[in-house]
Amino acid sequence: MRFLLVIWILISSFSVLDAQEARFYAATDASVSNPANREYQVIANSIFEVSFTIENGKGTGFRPPDFGGLNVVQGPATSHQVSIINGRKSEKRSYTYSITGAKPGSYTIGGAEILVNGKTLNSRPFTVVVIQGREGEDNQKETLILAQASDTTAYLGQQIILQYRLVTQENIKSYEPVSNFEFEGFFVQELDDVSRRTERMIINGEEYYSTTLEAVSLFPQQTGTYTIPSVAIRVGVPRPSRRRSLFSFQEYDYKIVNSQPVTIKVDELPSGAPLSFSGAVGNYTASFAIDRRTLSTDQTLTMRMNIRGDGDSKHIIPPAMDLGDDFEVYDPNSVKDDSYVAGGEVVHYKEFEYLIVPREEGRKQFNPEFTYFNVDSNEYVTVKPDRPFTIAVTPGSNIGLNVDAVNDRNLSPNKPSSIKSGKNWGFAGSAGHISLISLAFLGIIGMTTHQYLKRKDELLDPAIKARRAAHKKAEAQMKEVKKYLDQKDERGFYNEITRTMFHYLEDKLNISTGSLTKDNLVEVLSENGITDSTLENISEILKNAEVSLFAGGQAGNLQNMYDRTLSIIEDIEANN
């Protein structure tokens, strides 16, 4: 029975997966010269590959394209690949050609064709430009280290991507940095998901192969002009082999290659930012949601604002919210702050919570805003909901109550009747009756007290809430730090312990989210009553973590740093 069930699940899965839409596309390993126009570049008489791939479909009747005057050296070579990941089946079949161009010029490789389920699919054409290689007597091969910044002029709070690429004509088999990467003036986060695939490049008429050695996101911490120094990389090239025995080892020639320095100018943001701007710089999206559309004047409405973007999250605080005279808005609270690496950059996600109280009854509207500075258009962009939020406000229990009328009312208890009742044979007046009434009365008191405490908590200043929750939140984050400690994951450990320390201090000391940085740490904490000894311990931990993360230093024993961080948190809890 179990065997039949497994077979049924597999058949069902494949049936669903086979229903995925088929894709047919062309690809090449030629050097990219203009991706927007699908234009590539090769050296005359060099050999490059062009492949045509059908994905998630059983193709028949493959017809190669017109290669537009380029010469086919070999092909097509076919390959077939099937993979199942998390129950999803992916199937690919590729037809690969080796191509060369003898004469310089522009050549268009047309679209190939294949038949899938009775439908003809075509790949997109693309252009290959053949250029004449550099001529000369110097045939010595060259290796370079290129430092490439996404922007050399940026704004405070903007993310800059810096890549170090190994570019070579040699058969490089090993490489290692012999000097530290230094990024003074920037907060740095390593990009782990960057592609390490080898690619072709053409520089000054010569063909090279390149791969990424290191990629980081840089976030400038203050304005000014900064020069990132060159980095020295030692590369190893196999020595031409002489006669070798079974027990001999490959020998290498080593040399040092240096990157060029990179200069980055960091500017202040332009003036004229609206009230709803709170530090977001880059490209952002925002969404808004409320938890109710009907409430009374003695109830609160919760609005959540979610933002996602690629700027420096430490510079972003909850935006100020002016909803007019109809609403009272309490200070916002930051309830989520996460970041991750995707698409070769750091993306962060924040969620802010606003408590809003209507001031009077009626049909009311409000339209929240979030503003960011767009680095592509160099202007402030304001995001709003598609339409204003409309809510119906009814009078609360404390609205429209006439005190004078209440005082004029006869609130004295009813007088007992002069008619005497006979003997009571029923439940009324019995001990059980009195007990039930007492229980009901106590229940009403309990419910009233619960509602009062709940209401009091809702109206509590978010800053006070954050201070009260800071210790519990820090304990939960330190459990995550412990996981990295147990796994001996140093990078994860230092990242998480830095994040935990900053978040705890901001919550505990009522410091605006993201406004505490390593540059103002001493001044801000001193103003908030942190003792000199505790401040010295905090600074040392953060400094050691930064050195270990970004400069390759030795920060010491992880367990010792973990224990010291716990001690610092407990010390602050006891004295603040």
> Looking at the chain, how many residues does it have?
576
Residue-wise pLDDT tens digits, 438-457: 666 666 666 655 554 555 44
Q: What integer pLDDT is reported at residue 455 of this predicted model?
A: 52
| Residue 412: pLDDT over 70 | no
519 pLDDT tier (thresholds 50, 70, 90): low
Q: Lowest-pLDDT range, 71-80, 95-104, 191-200, 511-520?
A: 511-520
Between these two residues, 83 and 425, which has the higher pLDDT value?
83
Residue-wise pLDDT tens digits, 325-380: 889 898 888 888 998 888 789 999 999 999 999 988 999 999 999 999 999 999 99
- Residue 334 structure tokens: 């930051």
Q: Are 478 and 570 in contact (CB under 8 A)?
A: no
| Residue 463: pLDDT over 90 | no
Between these two residues, 67 and 555, which has the higher pLDDT value?
67
Question: In whole angstroms, how far apart are CA 175 and each of 192, 250, 287?
Answer: 18, 16, 46
Q: What integer pLDDT is reported at residue 570 of this predicted model?
A: 86
Pairing type for strands 23-28 and 47-55 reads: antiparallel
Strongest mean pLDDT among 98-112, 413-427, 437-451, 527-541: 98-112
Calpha distance 181→258 (Å, rounded) = 12
248 pLDDT tier (thresholds 50, 70, 90): low
| Residue 514: pLDDT over 90 | no
Radius of gyration from C-alpha coordinates of the chain: 34
Coil/strand/helix, residue 376 = coil
Angle CA 235–241–244, to nearest 5: 125
| Residue 110: pLDDT over 90 | yes
Q: What integer pLDDT is reported at residue 206 of this predicted model?
A: 82
Coil/strand/helix, residue 445 = helix
Q: What integer pLDDT is reported at residue 267 of this predicted model?
A: 94
Q: Are 540 and 555 in contact (CB under 8 A)?
A: no
Question: In whole angstroms, how far apart are CA 56 and each of 65, 91, 112, 327?
Answer: 21, 5, 17, 55
Which CATH number, 2.60.40, 1.25.40, 2.50.20, 2.40.160, labels domain 143-240+249-267?
2.60.40
Q: How far is CA 467 from the centre of its chain?
A: 26
Q: Are 343 and 386 in contact (CB under 8 A)?
A: no
Top CATH class of 277-394 equals: mainly beta
112 pLDDT tier (thresholds 50, 70, 90): very high
5 pLDDT tier (thresholds 50, 70, 90): very low
Write the CB contacts of 35 (distance below 8 Å, at least 6 apart in sequence). none
- What fold does the segment set 2-131 form as a domain? Immunoglobulin-like (2.60.40)
Question: What percent of the chain is predicted at pLDDT more than 90?
Answer: 34
Q: What integer pLDDT is reported at residue 81 of this predicted model?
A: 84
Write the CB contacts of 567 (distance below 8 Å, at least 6 apart in sequence). 537
| Residue 116: pLDDT over 70 | yes
| Residue 1: pLDDT over 70 | no
Give me the mean pLDDT over the 495-519 stretch.
77
CB atoms within 10 A of CB 125: 15
Q: What integer pLDDT is reported at residue 485 of this predicted model?
A: 87
The order of strands in the sheet holding 232-238 is: 174-177, 232-238, 252-258
Residue with tokens 């994860």: 492
Residue with tokens 């109809």: 326
Give me the mean pLDDT over the 276-282 stretch.
93
| Residue 464: pLDDT over 80 | no
| Residue 402: pLDDT over 80 | no
Coil/strand/helix, residue 559 = helix
Coil/strand/helix, residue 67 = coil
The order of strands in the sheet holding 105-109 is: 31-34, 39-43, 126-131, 105-109
Question: In whole angstroms, how far apart are CA 385 and each of 288, 363, 537?
Answer: 6, 18, 46
7 pLDDT tier (thresholds 50, 70, 90): very low
Q: What integer pLDDT is reported at residue 208 of this predicted model?
A: 87
Q: Lowest-pLDDT range, 80-84, 90-94, 131-135, 455-459?
A: 455-459
| Residue 423: pLDDT over 50 | no
| Residue 244: pLDDT over 60 | no
Calpha distance 185→172 (Å, rounded) = 33
CB atoms within 10 A of CB 480: 15
Q: What integer pLDDT is reported at residue 397 of this predicted model?
A: 73
| Residue 557: pLDDT over 80 | no
| Residue 433: pLDDT over 70 | no
Domain 462-575: assigned CATH number = 1.20.120.290
Q: Are 95 and 64 in contact (CB under 8 A)?
A: yes
Give me the mean pLDDT over the 133-159 stretch.
83
Coil/strand/helix, residue 417 = coil
Q: What integer pLDDT is reported at residue 436 of this predicted model?
A: 63
Q: What integer pLDDT is reported at residue 450 of this predicted model?
A: 55
Calpha distance 345→216 (Å, rounded) = 8
* Of 101, 82, 96, nearest in space to 18 by CA: 82
Q: Give the 3-state secondary structure of 424-436.
A: CCCCCCCHHHHHH
Q: Do domains 143-240+249-267 and 462-575 have the same CATH topology?
A: no
Q: Lowest-pLDDT range, 181-190, 206-215, 301-310, 532-541?
A: 532-541
Q: Taking the domains of the chain in order of start, what are their residue ranges?
A: 2-131, 143-240+249-267, 277-394, 462-575
Q: Please give the DSSP secondary-structure letter assigned to residue 528.
A: T
CB atoms within 10 A of CB 59: 19
